[in-house]
Structure 1
Amino acid sequence: MAEQQSAPVTTAPTELWVERTGTRAYTGRSSRGAEVLIASQGVPGAFTPGELLKIALAACTGLSSDLPLSRRLGDDFDATIRVSGDADRENEVYPQLDEVVELDLSELDEAARERLLVTVERAVDKVCTVGRTLKAGTKVTLSFDIDA
C-alpha cells in the first residue's frame, strides 16, 4: 500500500497596513485581525512609530530566547525585556538601542547561568529577524498608489 503524502501547508503572508484615524493618528492593522494605535508623542493610549520599533525589537528578543530559556527554567518562567534609546532628532535616527533582559536565574549556579546566557545570546543573534535587520540595515522603498 502506497503511503499518502499530504500537501505542503502554505500560509499566505500577513498583510499589514495603517489607516488614518485623525490628525497625526493612525491604526495599524494586520490581516490576522490585530490592531495597534499609533500617534504623535503624548497621545494617550497610542504608541509612536519609534516606540513600536523598540517594542518590536524587545518582542523579537523575547520570542527568540523563549525556547532556550523554557528548556532550562521551565515553561512558567518570568521575563521582561526593556529597551531604550534616544532619538537623534537632527538626523531622525536611533543611533543606539539598548536591551536589558530581566530574569531570575537564582536557582542556577554561576557556570549554568553563564552557559544559559551564552545560549540565549546565540539564539537571539541567529533568529531575531528584527535585531538582525536593524544591525544589517535594510533597503526601504516608497511608492504611491493614487487616484488621479
Structure 2
Amino acid sequence: MSSDDLRQITLTRDSQGRYTARNRRGGSITTSSGTDELSPVELLLAGIAACTAVDVDTVTSRRAEPDSFEVVVTADKVKDEHGNHLQDINVSFRVRFPEGEAGDTAREMLPKLVKRSHDEWCTVSRTIELGTTVTATVD
C-alpha cells in the first residue's frame, strides 16, 4: 500500500474521557463521552454524513448552489450477543435548490447521486456495509 492510500489518525488523551484525534495534515477534532462534544459513535455517524455529502455536493453544486444542504444520520445503538453496535443506520438528505433550470437539473440528479454515493463512492459507509477486520494491538 502506498503512503497516498494509507489513512491515519492519532488519538491523544487530553484528560479523563476526553481525546483529540489528529490527522497527518494537522487537522484535529476533540471527542469525549458524557459531554456536549461529539461522542465516538457520533463521530462515526458524522463520518458517514460528511463522506456522502461531499460526494453529492461536489456534483450537484456544479449545476446549482444549494439554498440549504443538510444530511441527518440516525442509528439505533444496541447491546446484544454481538456486544455494543449500531444497527438500522439511516442517511437522509434534506437539500433544496433554487428555482430555475440549474436548480431543476441539480434536483433531478440528487437521488441518483445519493444512490451512487451509497453504492460505490462513500468509503465510510461502504466499509461499514462490507465489513472489515479491525485489529487492536499494544505497542
TM tier, shorter chain?
A: 0.7 to 0.9
- Would you tell me which structure has more strand in proportion to its own residues? 2
| Greater C-alpha Rg | 1
Structure 1 runs (4+) deviating above 6 angstroms are: none
CA distance in 2, matches of 1:130, 1:14: 12
**Is 1:143 matched with 2:118?**
no
Q: Is the 8 A contact 2:68 2:97 kept in 1?
A: no
Please list, as runs of the form range in 1=range in 2, the aligned pairs for 1:62-141 lying within 5 A after superposition: 62-74=53-65, 77-90=67-80, 91-105=83-97, 107=99, 115-124=108-117, 125-141=119-135
Provide the alpha-carbon RMSD of the alignment. Answer: 2.5
**Is 1:32 matched with 2:22?**
no
Uncovered stretches (5+) of structure 2, i.e. residues with no partner: none
Uncovered stretches (5+) of structure 1, i.e. residues with no partner: 1-9
Q: Is the 8 A contact 2:52 2:114 kept in 1?
A: no
The two structures have a TM-score, normalised by structure 1, of 0.75
Specify whether residues 108 and 93 from structure 1 end up closer, same or farther in structure 2 by C-alpha distance, changes over 3 A only: farther
The two structures have a TM-score, normalised by structure 2, of 0.80
Q: Is the 8 A contact 1:18 1:28 kept in 2?
A: yes
Higher RCO (CA 8 Å, separation ≥ 6 residues)? 2
Report the identity percentage.
Answer: 26
Specify whether residues 12 and 130 from structure 1 end up closer, same or farther in structure 2 by C-alpha distance, changes over 3 A only: closer
